[in-house]
Amino acid sequence: MLSLQFIPYSQIASMSSQKRIAKILKLVKDENIVLLEGTLNKDEETELIKKTMEEIKGKFRGIEICTIESENDKNAFFDKFKKMLYTYILREKKGFTVIGPASIVKEIKRDPNKIQLLTKDVKRRNK
């Protein structure tokens, strides 16, 4: 059975980066697919990969992760303004992130505005 765990942004907003990463990694190691409202910043994403590598052992073989950020506006000035605003206030709440354990999630494909999550079970069923 697949378990999908939703984390609203409000639940991680006040956490330090370390705690955010630890929370996500714990849920994923417990074989949940995490749907996070918002995105981690790039340092946090890199740290998540590093921590994942440190914890690979036994059944845990790593993660699959995919972030989607909406960037449709082509107006240069507005883009710049929006980027500043997101950087300082809203950035991490924009978009969403899917993270799953590699033991369950075979691959996450981005199209780039669509996500396809291929699970290992689905693949077996198709064979």
Partner 1 sequence: MINMFKKFLNKFFNGLFKKKKNIKLGLYGPPNGGKTTLANRICQDWLGEDMGSVSNVAHETREIQVKEQISIKSKGKELSFNLVDTPGIATRIDYEDFLKSGLKVTEAKKRAKEATKGVIDSIKWLDDMDVVIIVLDSTKDPYSQVNITIVGNLEARKIPVLIVGNKIDLKKANIKKLQEAFPQYDIVGISAKFGNHMDEFYDLLFKITK
Rama region for 95: left / alpha / beta (φ>0; ψ in -120 to 50; rest): left
> Which residue among 7, 34, 52, 92 contacts partner 1 (CB under 8 A)?
52
Told to check if 123 binds partner 1 by CB under 8 A, we report no
Q: How far is 75 from 82, CA to CA, in rounded Å?
A: 10
> Which residue among 112, 124, 126, 127 contacts partner 1 (CB under 8 A)?
112
CB 97 within 8 A of CB 69: no
Q: How far is 64 from 102, CA to CA, in rounded Å?
A: 6
> Which residue among 80, 110, 116, 123 contacts partner 1 (CB under 8 A)?
110
Binding pattern to partner 1, positions 59-98, x when CB under 8 A? Answer: --xxxxxxx-------------------------------
Pick the piece of the chain touching partner 1 (CB under 8 A) from 8-16, 30-38, 49-57, 74-82: 49-57
Q: How far is 84 from 29, CA to CA, in rounded Å?
A: 35
Residue nearer to partner 1 on the CB measure, 10 or 36:
36
Told to check if 43 binds partner 1 by CB under 8 A, we report yes
Helices 17-29/42-55 angle, 10° precision: 50
